[in-house]
Copies of this chain bind each other. A is one copy, B any other.
Amino acid sequence: MTAPAEHPEGLDRSDPEAEINARAEAYRNWGRWGEDDVLGTLNFVDAAKRRQAAALVTDGTVVSLTQPFDMNGPQKGWRRRTNPVHTMLDTGTDAERGNQGFPHGIGGADDIVAMPLQCSTQWDGLGHIFDHGFAWNGRRAGDVVTSDGDLVTGIEHAAAAGVSRGVLLDLGRHLYPETGELPDGYAITAADLDACIAAQGATSAVGRGDMVVVRTGQLARAKRDGWGDYAGGPAPGLSLTTAGWIHRTEVAAIATDTWGFEVRPNEFDVAAFQPLHQVAIPNIGLTIGELWDLDALAESCLARGRYEFLLVASPLAITGAVGSPINPVAIF
């Protein structure tokens, strides 16, 4: 058996099933961390990696990688994914007017949010995607995620696992230095990733346990031109053929500034939907970040000539969740 192709030209664009299955089999990590594992590639982050990451903090600057969470976001309701709806339970207007009934001049405001866990900057949990009815580590999907949530690999298990060395790979700037933006539909290859690392220099080296953030520039374009079909439409992103690179480098997580992490339209001439997710999440056990804002980070890295930092992106401990809104911070 030959290894799956690592360039889109090697894909049989008429047969997604075969191309997906080949990579699922080649890169499957089931059992690698035991039968009971709930963390997947987050296991690659060890104490040494976290010490290395913390040691990268030399000037004390924090850059948040979050997009806003509000009604002006990109969601259009696909599969009931809406923008977050934030409403007030108590307001300053009521407090000022004396409507609240509290004693001695105290007043308060309180609020509530209803939001899909994938509405803005987020982690995909391990229960988010299945492959032919199977979830991460070979469990049956219906044993893992029911209407009661993810009973096995809920995101709460990763509560302490969102800390590592982060590395920015600014593919937008690397490949399109004039605009800093990959065009929609651009499939980032393993060779592109390696070339970007080489071009950016030693601080971009990627290895076991690192969390890689790949900037495509699509968000910068959406900020300028409007959301359009940012949530689900054509986008730059990783090629299915990067699955080998992901597996080989043993990165802990990958995040992008796009809705869907991988290139869209997907790389087939027949019906296909997020094939790299299908390989990466249930088979490799990869935690994926989406809808991150990497523009300020890219400026920081460029100005410093340094692409590594302490990354802290802790999921909310929502029991049984298959994803989590986050506010990732890069600390230099």
A37 to chain B, nearest CB (A): 17
Q: Which of A49-73 contact B (CB under 8 A)?
A: 49-51, 54-55, 57-64, 66-72
In whole angstroms, how far apart are the Cα atoms of A142 and B17 in the complex?
25
Q: Known contacts being A111-B323, A321-B113, A327-B314, is A93 close to B97, with CB within 8 Å?
A: yes
Stoichiometry (number of copies): 4
Contact pick for A88, options B77, B113, B145, CB 8 Å: B145
In whole angstroms, how far apart are the Cα atoms of A111 and B162 in the complex?
20
A234 to chain B, nearest CB (A): 18
Contact pick for A129, options B50, B106, B160, CB 8 Å: B106
Q: In the complex the two chains form, is B329's CB within 8 Å of A314's CB?
A: yes
A17 contact set on B, CB distance < 8 A: 104-105
Closest to A85 in B: B80
Can you sample 16 A-B contacts with CB below 8 Å?
A47-B60, A50-B60, A86-B149, A88-B149, A91-B91, A91-B94, A91-B142, A91-B145, A96-B141, A97-B97, A103-B273, A108-B130, A109-B130, A159-B327, A312-B312, A312-B314
- A→B interface (CB under 8 Å): 16-17, 20, 46-51, 54-55, 57-64, 66-72, 77, 79-99, 102-118, 120-121, 127-133, 135, 140-150, 156, 159-163, 270-275, 277-278, 310, 312, 314-323, 325-329, 331
